[in-house]
Amino acid sequence: MSEKTHAGIPLSFFEYRATYQEPFFAFHKLYQDVCQTVFRSLRPWNISLEAVSLKLNPVNFGEVQASFTLFGGRLAFNVGLGASVLVVKDPNWSEAELITNIAKAGMNAVISSTGVTVEKQKASIAMHVKPDLGSAKDFVLGFARVGASELLGSSFKAYGISVYKDDTTWVVDASASYTDALFIRIDHVSGAEANFEKIASKLRDDESKILDLLRLEVD
C-alpha cells in the first residue's frame, strides 16, 4: 500500500438543511417569535443583536429568512419559511460537539416557536484539497479505466468521479478556485428521525473513506 500524501484545505464548508413538511407563512411569527426564541437559544455562544438580520426585499417567499451569525460570521443559522440552514465556513472535526449543540439549540427553537415538523435533513461537506506534493490529477488517476490516459493524451488537467447511493453522493473533481487542487463534496440525506450526531458521524466516515481512496491525509 502506497504512503499517503499530506494535503492542505484552503477552503471548506459544512451545510446542514432541515426541510419542513409544510412551510409556514406567518411572517409576523418569523420576525417576532422565531427571532426572539432563536436569539435566546444562541445566548450561550454570545449572540448579539448586530449578528441578527433579515433579508431585505426578498423577491419570493423562498428568499424570506432571518439570519443569526456567530464567531465573526464563520457560522450562520438561517431560518426560512420552508427550511432552516446551518452553514459553517472552514469547520474542523474538533468543533463537532460545538456545532452539534448550536444546530440542536437552533432547530429546537425553530420547532417550538413555529410548530413545524421536519420532513428530511441534508448535510454536506464541500472542501478544496491541495496536495503538498505531486499533481492533483495523479491522485484520481487510479479511478480511471485502464488505458484511459493513453486515449485522452497528456493534455487533460484532471479526472473527476461521482458516486451515488440511495442516501449519499460523493463528488471528486478539479478545484475551480485553487490551482492543482481537488474539490470534494459529500451529501447525505436522511429522514427526520436521524439525530445530528449520527448525521455528522456518517459525513466524517465518508470523508475518511474518500481521502483513503485518494491516498491523501489532512490535519
Q: What is the pLDDT of residues 19-52, one digit of tens each?
A: 999 999 988 888 889 999 999 999 999 999 999 9
Band of pLDDT at residue 156, cut at 50, 70 and 90: low
Q: Of 107, 128, 112, nearest to 8 (Cα)?
A: 128
Secondary structure letter of residue 2 according to DSSP: P
CA distance 126 to 188: 12
> Do 53 and 67 form a contact (C-beta atoms < 8 A)?
yes
Q: Which of 146, 149, 169 is nearest to 159 (CA)?
A: 149
Do 31 and 8 contact (CB within 8 A), yes or no?
A: no
Domain ranges of the chain: 1-13+127-185+195-219, 22-116
| The pLDDT of residue 149 is above 80 | no
Instruction: Say what the pLDDT of residue 144 is.
Output: 60
Its pTM stands at: 0.91
Is residue 11 within 8 A of residue 177, CB to CB? The reply is yes
Grid cell 491525509 is found at 217
